[in-house]
């Protein structure tokens, strides 16, 4: 009898499908993996990633790890905006404000 090595990884979503620049309704390549008891992974972070997430109704707050397959601009150019969005979402979620010495 063969073993079943499949794992339930929860929600898998392609937020974008590729291209050299984001277009209306067509974002650069990003994928998000979420499972109930595991860290949340964002794979690639092209320009407009946080907008694509917002369109799905998801918050960037629970992202634990951002992974890159390579460092071309269409895979990393949204990183600064995503980090800012993650920080803002964390503040709205009620986490301590470390800048105030909490």
- CB of 43 within 8 A of CB of 69? yes
Mean pLDDT (whole number) for 21-45: 77
Q: Coil, strand or helix: which one is 56? A: helix
Answer with the residue of higher pLDDT: 10 or 37: 37
DSSP-derived letter for residue 10 is -
Distance of alpha carbon 78 from alpha carbon 68, whole angstroms: 12
- Ordered alpha helix ranges (H), 13-64: 49-56
CA atoms in the 13 A half-sphere facing the CB of 84: 9
The one catalytic residue among 4, 64, 74, 97:
74
Answer with the residue of higher pLDDT: 91 or 72: 72
Q: Residue 11 forms beta bridges with which residues?
A: 34
Distance of alpha carbon 29 from alpha carbon 15, whole angstroms: 7
pLDDT of residue 17 exceeding 80, the answer is: no
Distance of alpha carbon 41 from alpha carbon 43, whole angstroms: 6
Predicted pLDDT of residue 68: 92
Predicted pLDDT of residue 34: 75
Residue 97 bears catalytic tag = no
């Amino acid at each position: 009898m063969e073993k079943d090595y499949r794992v339930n990884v929860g929600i898998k979503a392609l937020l974008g499908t590729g291209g050299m620049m984001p277009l209306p309704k067509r974002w650069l390549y990003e994928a998000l993996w979420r499972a109930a008891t595991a860290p949340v992974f964002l794979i690639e972070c092209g320009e407009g990633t946080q907008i694509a997430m917002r369109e799905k109704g998801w918050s960037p707050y629970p992202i634990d790890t951002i992974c890159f397959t390579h460092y071309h601009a269409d895979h990393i150019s949204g990183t600064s905006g995503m980090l800012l969005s993650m920080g803002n979402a964390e503040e709205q979620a009620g986490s301590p404000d470390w800048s105030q010495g909490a």
